[in-house]
Structure 1
Amino acid sequence: MSLASLPLPLRFALRELRAGIRGFGIFLACLALGVMAIAGVDAISSALSDGLRSQGRVINGGDIEFTLVGREASPEELAFIGKQGRLSIAASTRAMARTPDGQTALVEIKAVDPAYPLLGAVEFGQGRALSATIGSQGSRADAAADAALFARLGLQPGATVTIGNLTVTLADRLIGEPDKIAGGISFGPRLMITLDALRESGLIQPGSLIRWRYRLVLPPDVSPDAVRQRANQAFPQAGWEVRTRDDASPELRRGIERFTMFITLVGLTALLVGGVGVANAVRAFVERQRDSIATLKTLGAGANLVTGIYLTQTLLLAALGIVIGLAAGAALPFILAYGFADYLPLPITPVLNPAGLALAALYGLLTALAFSLLPLGRARDISVSALFRDAIAPTRRWPAPIVLILAGLAVAALVALALFFAADRKVALVYVASALGAFVLLRVVASLLMALARRLPRPHSTPLRLAVTNIHRPGAATPSVVLSLGLGLCLLVALTLVDGNIRHQLSAAIPDKAPSFFFVDIRRADAPRFDAFLKQAAPQATSERVPMLRGRIVSVKDVPAEKIKPPPNIAWVLSGDRGVTFTDAVPAGSRVVEGQWWAPDYAGPPLVSLEQEVAHGLGLAVGDDITVNVLGRNITAKVGALRKLEWQNFGINFVLVYSPNTFKGAPVTDIATLTFPHGADDAVELGLLKQVADAFPMVTAVRIKDALQSFADLAGQLAMAIRAAAAIALVASILVLAGALAAGQSSRLYDAVILKVLGATRGRILFAFILEYGLLGLATGLFGVVAGTACAWLIVTYLMNFSFTFLAGPAFGAAFGALALTILFGLAGTWRILRQKPATHLRSL
């Protein structure tokens, strides 16, 4: 196809591009960065999800898994499961490992049968087979353990530890388990033993918190869903959780979805920040083409043709930036898979995801349209004479209504995309409202700053007078600087404060009022002796003990749990089993907000109290029924009261609290906490840990500091990924800032030449520019701190339900960085101008 056969706007646009893309470097970089962030996050998410699906059988340990908590499968249930395919049984629990010299450590026990693993392979340090590594004979057993246990206790393979009534020889280091991902967060190192060894340990007691897993590899012609359906029909009150190979780790899948959504919103922020750069580049492009536009209009070109030519050229360049971003984003999962696969905790299967790439491209295209239509619309409606006067007296008027409508439609489409494809519409709506609000506020801040500078009394200091005048002069870079730097700084401050508050809650605020220990699996017969022991061993501490069972919600108001679609922040209640308790008094840390608590001697039908937010998320009110399976029995209870809980005190909090008569005669173990009034140092806690392990070997002690460290490590890994994504937005902000300041260099050159001719020294001119950039950076930095703090407060308070703490150091550190960046980029070009001789430029002015 020849160039002459193309539509006239496209033909003119291609001819213009022959001269190169000068001035569009920031334009291309901003679009490419934003599109890369969105496409890359989606590609990595798809690769992780595909990895989970492709490795679903291995992660799940088979085609289907039946999980029971607190009880083993009955002979009838076991017989039914065993007939469906090749069976393997595993059990997991926590216990205390004790060395001969008195050291203790919490371990995550995994007890397996000879058929384990049905799929994949277990890896040991010495490369031996599973049957040659672990085994048992009476009260003695051989085991394999994570390297962390050897390091924590200072042991080597061949050392012995005691677990319950079992003497365990640590035969080898455990390197890898094929089904480890499905196990969730661990609070201690893994210890792998045989099922026979676990039975000899004495840890299996009625009501003990042991998770029993029954895994099957099915014949090729048998569907896991069909087996699940038959099992639930044959044993409707079994209370087991069933997972298939297609959904081996639903918690992990949901975590990936939520994390992807959050990072996508951060990437969209980078794209929106880049949109300011797009607008700046298009505005500068229109200014450079002023003579060409005037000539075209003089020769009879209509406003629509002129706009079409330059809109086509803008879209062609946008397409180039989008393609670059798509290529970089699509390559990210392949780079991770082939360069960092050994360091990733999840399987990753990199593939091209056309739908995700198309979505990222659409985001980029709509951003380019939304931010380029207004500056292009100005060229459409300004008269020829006004175009020639623009260099001296810019014309201020709104674009034509059609341009405003098209720009508004592009913004509306961006908002619709963000909401429609969000995993959590509530979070996405908060983000959209915050982003639009930030744009409006930043534009208002820029206008107020210019208006204030215009109305200030004329300073006596010449450099200060020049600085103030440059802030509100025609064509000033103030709006662009405030928008670009303000958005990026707002994001930086918000993420910094959210990250800081999470760490503060986990490492500072919570431990001051949290218990030092949780004690699990206290047998009811041992409970009085255990209370007396704690009172004697730690007389200055307070303890609390309550009964606990595990139960799974199976229906709400006669609606099966699997058919309920709760809000994302409540979905965890229906995923797996929950701790339940019973008491005749309102638990500590709770207060009744709806309904009434039952009487101490209540003997009627079962009643239950739920946490208020959870109840409302499930559509429950006082008087409604909820059915929970506990120890293989479906128990239906009426909601008697709703409570508010103090989750942050890390005390014993239960979503479900029943009237005592509900579980009369059920096998129950207790859970207890121990709290020192003002905390305790490590030596006291470790000493008490040893005493408990010696006196009550069957009781599991969870040290809160260790549990918090596990959560802090996980939060740190997530924060690192979030900061990496936020860095893209910050890079976009820096690019836009540099572009906005560079666009004003022609006027800076004019000022510097005239001032030099009038006798100004290089130092005074430089000082004036430093004051100008410093005032802009300071105003924008203060706004970024205020707006970012407000966003962080909303996220921490309403989405995370934490108390918010303002961290002045990180917040004002970011503001100082904004000030330094503005001055640095502003002076980068100015210094070059100040070194040049006036005569060279006077000839062209």
Structure 2
Amino acid sequence: MKVRSLFFFRLGNALRLARREIRGGLSGFYIFLACIALGTGAIAAVNSVSRAITSSIATQGQSILAGDVRFELRNREASPDELAYLDNLGTVAVSTGLRSMARLADGSQQTLAEVKAVDGAYPLYGKLESDPAMPLPQLLARQGEAYGAVVAPLLLERLGIKRGDEVLLGNVRLKISATLVTEPDALSDGFGFAPRLLISREALATSGLIQNGSLVEHAYKIRLNDTARRSGITEEANREFPSAGWSIRTSDRAAPSLTENVNRFSQFLTLVGLTALIVGGVGVANAVRAFLDSKRTTIAALKCLGAPASVVTLTYLFQIAFIAIIGIAIGLALGAVTPLVAMRFLEGVLPVPDELAIYPGALFMAALFGLLTTLAFAILPLGQAREVPATALFREQGFEANRLPSWPYLAATGLLLALLASMAIYSAEQRYIASVFLGAVAFAFIVLRLVAWGIRAVAKRSPRVHSAALRLAIGNIHRPGALTPSVVLSLGLGLTLLVTLTLIDGNLRRELTGSLPERAPNFFFVDIQGADRDGFKALVQKEAPEGTLTEVPMLRGRILALNGQDVTKMEVPAAGRWVLRGDRGITYAQTMPDNAKLTEGTWWSGDYSGEPLVSFAAEEAGELGLKIGDSVTVNVLGRNITAKIANLRDVQWESLSLNFVMVFSPNTFRGAPHSWLATLADPSATAAQEGEILRKVTASYPTITTVRVKDALDLVNSLVEQLATAIRAAAAVALIASVLVLAGALAAGNRARTHDAVILKTLGGTRAMLIRAFSYEYMMLGLATAVFALLAGGVSAWFVVARIMKLPSSFLPDVAIATILIALVMTVGIGLIGTWRILGQKAAPVLRQTGE
């Protein structure tokens, strides 16, 4: 009881002292506040925007899906029995999607279009908006010899036409009756490489585009009579029709791929924000140390008056916590407002909430990150202050940064850092990546401390130079209490992250706009029917005699089971999920493809006629846990086929050649209807020649879909540009945190610098000499840090590009030059800005204070 009373007595005294001291204002803590507010705000903003989008996808699921449930079949329509089952569930709206070429009647222009044919019930939910606004059946109705069509404005732009003009699609004539403003189920239909062309199912039937083996998607969207059936509809439908091979999606998961991508990207940005917060933690430690150094007389007085060390420590811990709460509150306010700003830019691109909402979970997580970071980095300076005796404080000795506090403070710091890491990993969708990221940050901290120690060691052992300014600069780097560790640590983390992200961005751009187009084919030709194959080959060889035409049979199939286990009930690593999501392009081959390399197993003989065999991509097989002899069950055209894995192949996806995850033995699909897929590679072809090939093929074979690779790469490049903007913004947050910490570190050392500068001026040193000395010091620190950032960032970027993205990685010299310049500008510029005021100090007051 007595111990408890003593504890509360000391706690009350500490609170009372902290409240009195905090009345003096926040002087010296502005960088502290900025660091915490920036990191907390970044995390709160990213997670608030992410939750706004994902919650909108969930709440607007019916409109996004245009139904309560969606059944999708590839390359075939529902059988009478399947259709009867769907009709029994509720109101059905049927749509068919495919890619094909829209062209002018005179053959002068053509472009790829994402064709969507709908019936009169579409859409069941949501609203399709067009210009002019008219009922959809009226817009798509037949008008004489032509059918109505609603198109995306981009299609009109590419063909150089206007509303009221006519285009050809396959064998049907279409009249543009309106332009598309909003398509309710665009997100659930998936990403499209081409502008939308909306027509009726009657027009599609007339076009002749639907043939055996054509790559089409038939979607059956249903407004359920009983919405309570939605939760169990997938299991029920698969139980009734086990061989249907359909993909089923309900409105509570209207756009799973989009939700997953939003979560992944927000996780990445959260980790970057956490890095900024950890970098800011260094600023917290510097600010706390400088604050306690300025309070050494007060601390000495408290100790001499009998205040226990615990009371002194608690007094300043309460003050630090109070200031941290202010910084966290500022960050949370920024994070809460960010969705309001972001929604204005995202509206029309992603689902956004109808009204501004606060996301307490996102804000709480950001606040917890901010508080844990503050405490983790503030405890060590508090522990160091506790260990310094009152007599040393009165002698103006200050705090010795290299002296470690007692073990309870070290243990508390370790526990808080472990909690911080655990929270980051637990909240991440891909915990392995989060663990690697945090491990890399921790490793960078250790290495940067070693770098700082190495710089000081080299400076200490450097030969004596004749220049007084350079000699002073070298001495400043290795003297006791030097700024070297703080500057290297704060600037090193920010620059390393900046170099990593910039190199990843640069390598992606180089691959997309440089080497990839050189290796990639000029064209992909899809839906080549067997009857058109010979004529098509003759036409292409005539138009591109120097080109190489490669053909493979093409089918679509969806993996249902691995080794007899339902894939929907398997825990699959994130890297391999794409193989199991939806339908995959598959083929068969008698001999091993030229662009393949076996890594395990053997290829089947030319006359093989035994059980179905499949060659699986080696990397994807590893991600799915498959090996030679395992079985894969695939649904193709409504038939389940189980094949044994005979071999594994190395697939270079970045080549854009004809590659498949699965290549089957020819006997597997003997007699099955299918189309052909072809590529044309002609490096010498000019843009005019490519245009002529596109025009001739489209005019002669209107049902063949022609994709020019350059157009697809341009679209992908624009998407990468948008992602790069977000990544650069994230890197900028970390760099700003580094600038703040750097400024804080230099400000924390201003007191010692003031004494040094005054004494040197008294001994005859000029302001110009001192400016040169400080410039040399900051320049050497900046160069050393830039070299580390280039090495560490280069290795990190290589790992991401080469090991994770499986793309060629190279070091970019322009990034190196920019990094060095940024480092020099930051260290020299910020250092001299802070030093200029020091050099103007009058000598007498400083010397008088020192003498006292």
Which residue in 2 is equivalent to 1:669?
675
With over 3 angstroms needed to count, the CA separation of the structure-2 counterparts of 1:655 and 1:597, relative to structure 1, is: same
Within a 5 Å distance, the mapping from 1:374-385 to structure 2 comes to 374-385=380-391
With over 3 angstroms needed to count, the CA separation of the structure-2 counterparts of 1:679 and 1:414, relative to structure 1, is: farther
Amino acid at match of 2:657: G
Matched, 1:372 2:372: no
Shift of 1:137: 6.1
Q: Any conservation in 2 of the 1:581–1:657 contact (CA below 8 Å)?
A: yes
Alignment equivalent of 2:504, drawn from 490, 498, 504: 498
Q: Any conservation in 1 of the 2:58–2:253 contact (CA below 8 Å)?
A: yes
Which residue in 2 is equivalent to 1:604?
610
With over 3 angstroms needed to count, the CA separation of the structure-2 counterparts of 1:253 and 1:361, relative to structure 1, is: same
* Residues 34-54 of structure 1, C-alpha deviations (whole Å, 9 max, x = no match): 111111111111110110011
Which residue in 2 is equivalent to 1:172?
178
2-side partners of 1:463 and 1:621: how far apart?
67
* Residues 85-132 of structure 1, C-alpha deviations (whole Å, 9 max, x = no match): 111011111111111342111111111111111112211122222122
Matched, 1:141 2:147: yes
Residue 753 of structure 1 aligns to a residue in which SS? helix
Which residue in 2 is equivalent to 1:467?
473
Alignment equivalent of 2:138, drawn from 132, 143, 155: 132
Shift of 1:534: 1.6
Amino acid at match of 1:687: E
Q: Any conservation in 2 of the 1:123–1:174 contact (CA below 8 Å)?
A: yes
Alignment equivalent of 1:718, drawn from 697, 716, 723: 723
Which residue in 2 is equivalent to 1:639?
645
Which residue in 1 is equivalent to 2:776?
771
1-side partners of 2:192 and 2:769: how far apart?
63
Amino acid at match of 1:718: L
Amino acid at match of 1:593: T
Alignment equivalent of 2:444, drawn from 438, 460, 478: 438
Which residue in 1 is equivalent to 2:4?
none
Q: Any conservation in 2 of the 1:110–1:192 contact (CA below 8 Å)?
A: yes
Matched, 1:30 2:35: yes
Within a 5 Å distance, the mapping from 1:445-524 to structure 2 comes to 445-524=451-530
With over 3 angstroms needed to count, the CA separation of the structure-2 counterparts of 1:70 and 1:229, relative to structure 1, is: same
Q: Any conservation in 1 of the 2:166–2:176 contact (CA below 8 Å)?
A: yes
Amino acid at match of 2:704: V
Residue 27 of structure 2 aligns to a residue in which SS? coil
Residue 89 of structure 2 aligns to a residue in which SS? coil
1-side partners of 2:530 and 2:749: how far apart?
78
2-side partners of 1:508 and 1:188: how far apart?
23
2-side partners of 1:327 and 1:658: how far apart?
57
Q: Structure 1-normalised TM-score?
A: 0.97
Which residue in 2 is equivalent to 1:797?
802
Amino acid at match of 1:493: V
Q: Which stretches in structure 2 are left out of the alignment for 5+ residues? A: 1-7
Residue 575 of structure 2 aligns to a residue in which SS? coil
Q: Any conservation in 1 of the 2:10–2:311 contact (CA below 8 Å)?
A: no
1-side partners of 2:345 and 2:400: how far apart?
54
Within a 5 Å distance, the mapping from 1:82-481 to structure 2 comes to 82-101=87-106, 102-136=108-142, 140-337=146-343, 339-340=344-345, 342=347, 344-348=349-353, 350-389=356-395, 391=397, 394=400, 396-481=402-487
Q: Structure 2-normalised TM-score?
A: 0.96
Higher deviation after alignment, 705-714 or 658-667: 705-714
2-side partners of 1:640 and 1:393: how far apart?
69
Amino acid at match of 1:585: T
Which residue in 2 is equivalent to 1:706?
711
Which residue in 1 is equivalent to 2:79?
74
Amino acid at match of 2:224: L
Q: Any conservation in 1 of the 2:388–2:399 contact (CA below 8 Å)?
A: no
Residue 255 of structure 1 aligns to a residue in which SS? helix
Which residue in 2 is equivalent to 1:686?
691
1-side partners of 2:70 and 2:275: how far apart?
41
2-side partners of 1:790 and 1:778: how far apart?
18
1-side partners of 2:225 and 2:568: how far apart?
26
Q: Any conservation in 1 of the 2:469–2:770 contact (CA below 8 Å)?
A: yes
Alignment equivalent of 2:46, drawn from 27, 35, 41: 41
Amino acid at match of 2:122: Y
With over 3 angstroms needed to count, the CA separation of the structure-2 counterparts of 1:557 and 1:137, relative to structure 1, is: farther
Total equivalences in the alignment: 841
1-side partners of 2:145 and 2:436: how far apart?
58
Q: Any conservation in 1 of the 2:293–2:399 contact (CA below 8 Å)?
A: no
1-side partners of 2:612 and 2:358: how far apart?
54
Q: Any conservation in 2 of the 1:84–1:227 contact (CA below 8 Å)?
A: no
Amino acid at match of 2:94: I
Q: Any conservation in 1 of the 2:64–2:188 contact (CA below 8 Å)?
A: yes
Shift of 1:528: 2.2
* Residues 315-347 of structure 1, C-alpha deviations (whole Å, 9 max, x = no match): 22222222221222122113333x445454333
Within a 5 Å distance, the mapping from 1:5-20 to structure 2 comes to 7-20=12-25
2-side partners of 1:370 and 1:128: how far apart?
62
Residue 78 of structure 2 aligns to a residue in which SS? coil
2-side partners of 1:648 and 1:744: how far apart?
51
Higher deviation after alignment, 654-663 or 166-175: 166-175
Which residue in 2 is equivalent to 1:651?
657
* Residues 791-844 of structure 1, C-alpha deviations (whole Å, 9 max, x = no match): 111111111111102111023202211111111111112223334544454444
With over 3 angstroms needed to count, the CA separation of the structure-2 counterparts of 1:700 and 1:420, relative to structure 1, is: same
Residue 212 of structure 2 aligns to a residue in which SS? coil
Residue 511 of structure 2 aligns to a residue in which SS? helix
Aligned-pair identity (%)? 48
Which residue in 2 is equivalent to 1:834?
839
Q: Any conservation in 2 of the 1:139–1:165 contact (CA below 8 Å)?
A: no
Q: Which stretches in structure 1 are left out of the alignment for 5+ residues? A: none
* Residues 61-89 of structure 1, C-alpha deviations (whole Å, 9 max, x = no match): 10000001111111221121112111101
* Residues 177-210 of structure 1, C-alpha deviations (whole Å, 9 max, x = no match): 1111112221111111100000000100011001
Shift of 1:687: 1.4
* Residues 155-197 of structure 1, C-alpha deviations (whole Å, 9 max, x = no match): 1111111111111112221111111111222111111110000
Which residue in 1 is equivalent to 2:65?
60
2-side partners of 1:228 and 1:377: how far apart?
60
2-side partners of 1:808 and 1:226: how far apart?
57
Higher deviation after alignment, 648-657 or 708-717: 708-717
Amino acid at match of 1:49: T
1-side partners of 2:533 and 2:438: how far apart?
53
Residue 220 of structure 2 aligns to a residue in which SS? strand
Higher deviation after alignment, 389-398 or 685-694: 389-398
Shift of 1:415: 1.6
Matched, 1:783 2:792: no
1-side partners of 2:846 and 2:745: how far apart?
22
Higher deviation after alignment, 300-309 or 203-212: 300-309
Shift of 1:764: 1.8
Amino acid at match of 1:513: R
* Residues 673-694 of structure 1, C-alpha deviations (whole Å, 9 max, x = no match): 0111x35332221111111101
Which residue in 2 is equivalent to 1:812?
817
Amino acid at match of 1:596: T
